[in-house]
Amino acid sequence: MKIGFLGYGEAARAFHEGLARPGLGVVAYDRLLDGDDTAMRDAMSKRGAAIAETIAGLAEADWIFSAVTADQSLAAILPLLPHLRQGQVVIDINSVSPDRKRETAAAVEDAGAAYLDMAVMAPVHPRRHQTPVLLAGGIASRMLAELSALGFSAEIAGDAPGAATAIKMVRSLFVKGLEAITVEALLAAKASGCFPEILASLSASYPGLDWPQFAEYQLERTTRHGKRRAAEMRESAATLDALGLTGGLAREIAAVQERMGEAGVQEAEGLEETVSEILAARLRG
């Protein structure tokens, strides 16, 4: 069996590391290779992936995991379509709206391959490919057994593409929104000179959140992954808009996540010092 990765970022690398075993071949393509990205080549080689110099190199894979940035999930698939064949499965793990997955599914199936909507429901570290995932699509039942045999922790969300990602997109509104409101409140507290009072008040009101460790984790997630989370929240906004609701909140969360990602990961001792450094970076930006 051979597995392909379209996009070789954090999620693809984590899945590859978890899946690695004798008899399982891996081939990877990332558009960064087009610019002769040495770091990307090194990442592929280090993990034992055959490097596909062009997207056509994925044609030999039985399964192709699409793991690109949310805004490129459909665009990345289009050049692959002429190289797909009957019997192949495209597993779309991108955090995008149900409409986007349905559109991608239609394109893949028109090209003769099968399509699986997979939603990754937690950070890929430390569990790698054993991170809980949801599956949806006409082949979900068949794929559940095959994925489980490889160690995936998977459940079926529905028999139509979009059913799995719908759960991810709605959940993300809360999870990424909680991150955004936490960091914005702490930054505002520091900027207004009432950080100790705000932290003490929140700790007393929500003791179950385990302050300040909770806040430190929220800051780390947004500064390290803010750009990717912003793209995901724009897809969450599209999901809500399509439901006849308002995606405005999700778009504001995306803006906060984007700004936090641009601030960079700040290293400091203690929560208040970390907030101070991030605040300074945000104000300079």
Question: Which domains, ranges and CATH numbers included, belong to the chain?
Answer: 2-161 (3.40.50.720), 165-284 (1.10.1040.10)
pLDDT at 206 over 90: yes
The pLDDT score that the predictor gives to residue 215 is: 96
Q: Which among 219, 124, 137, 145 is positioned nearest to 180, based on CA atoms?
A: 219
pLDDT at 267 over 90: no
The stretch 103-120 carries a mean pLDDT of: 98
Q: Which among 270, 274, 269, 171 is positioned nearest to 221, based on CA atoms?
A: 274
Q: Any bridge partners for residue 134, and if so which? A: 119, 155
Residue 183 has which token pair? Answer: 């960091």
Element (H, E) at 46: helix 38-46
The stretch 43-60 carries a mean pLDDT of: 97
The pLDDT score that the predictor gives to residue 127 is: 98
pLDDT at 207 over 80: yes
CB 128 within 8 A of CB 10: no
CB 254 within 8 A of CB 233: yes
pLDDT at 50 over 90: yes
Percent with pLDDT over 90 in the chain: 94
The alpha carbon of residue 180 and the mean position of all alpha carbons in its chain are separated, in whole angstroms, by 17
Q: Beta strands 50-51 and 114-120: pairing type?
A: unpaired
CB 5 within 8 A of CB 12: yes
List, in order, residues 6 or more apart from 239 with CB less than 8 Å away: 97, 98, 99, 166, 169, 170, 247, 250
| Cβ neighbour number for residue 161 with a 10 Å cutoff | 25
| Cβ neighbour number for residue 114 with a 10 Å cutoff | 20
